[in-house]
Amino acid sequence: MFKYGVHAFLWSADLDKDIPWVAEKAKRLGFDSLEMPLNIIDKVDVQLTRQALLDNGLECTCVGGLGKDQNLISPDPAVRRRGVDHLKRCIDIAAELGAPMFSGVIFAAWGSLVGRGRNDEEWRWSVEGLQAAAAYAAQAGIGLGLEPVNRFETYFLNTAADALKLVEEVGADNVGVLLDTFHVNIEEKSFYGAFKETGSRLVHVHACENDRGTPGSGLVRWHDVYRALLDIDYKGYIVIESFVPEIEPIARECAIWRHVAPGADHLAAEGLKYLKDVEQQVRSERAGG
């Protein structure tokens, strides 16, 4: 069976103080791991978080992104250096939390749109920055996952095919692809095709409905996703990454203006139940049952 996690921002944006009860809730609802966002690394209380994970027997994964002043594809070398430095700090925190993986929009600034597609120079800058981050992460035993996101959030990396190309050019064994079903639904022709194509380079999965609601309540073709995951013998985590309007700082960033689920607990519990049911159905199909 796959391991399932949940994003901590589903319940709170103040994790420097709320992480104990967030971790307890994640465990009580049946999750194996808690995904820690490192968007504002100065607000991560490493000691408190480690203890909360230990107290609840939870594993950990980490995600994050780059801001405009940390953009790996900026024409300003100082901005690019800040981006690499930021990634290294995130890698340090992931290692301290015992996370095997740090993933996200870590190849360019999230939310930066310039009215055109990427160019060759930006591609080269991203490769160079990621090579430096990958070498640093390898020393800490941390893997990196590059997350292609939809065209309204970045112009740089939108599809699984492009993410694979970037991973290949970075050329590091500890760098792979994170696929998020929310973005796959927008940018890909096929759920099965995107996951199958990524193959052994798939290192992390975000499970999210097309409207960021409860998995199973929308348009995502979950059976196709799970068929592909089994076909490629996926070994990583499946993390529910959805948000609710009550967590206002996150709602603003992700444009969650309406209720797409009855509430955070419902989204987590019912989403987890649904995903496990689909996994069992697909496994039974494969076994001839």
Neighbours of 54 (CB within 10 A): 11
Residues 6+ apart with CB under 8 A from 166: 107, 123, 126, 127, 130, 146, 157
Catalytic entry in 35, 122, 209, 241: 241
Residues 6+ apart with CB under 8 A from 191: 181, 184, 185, 220, 221, 224, 225, 228
Is the separation of the CB atoms in 43 and 16 below 8 Å? yes
Catalytic entry in 122, 147, 188, 279: 147
Establish whether 35 is a catalytic residue: no
In the block, tokens 């690499």 appear at: 84
The torsion angles phi and psi of 179, rounded to 5 degrees, stand at -110, 135
Residues 6+ apart with CB under 8 A from 54: none
Establish whether 121 is a catalytic residue: no
Residues 6+ apart with CB under 8 A from 101: 61, 62, 94, 142, 143, 144, 145, 203, 204, 236, 237
User: Catalytic positions, please?
Assistant: 147, 241
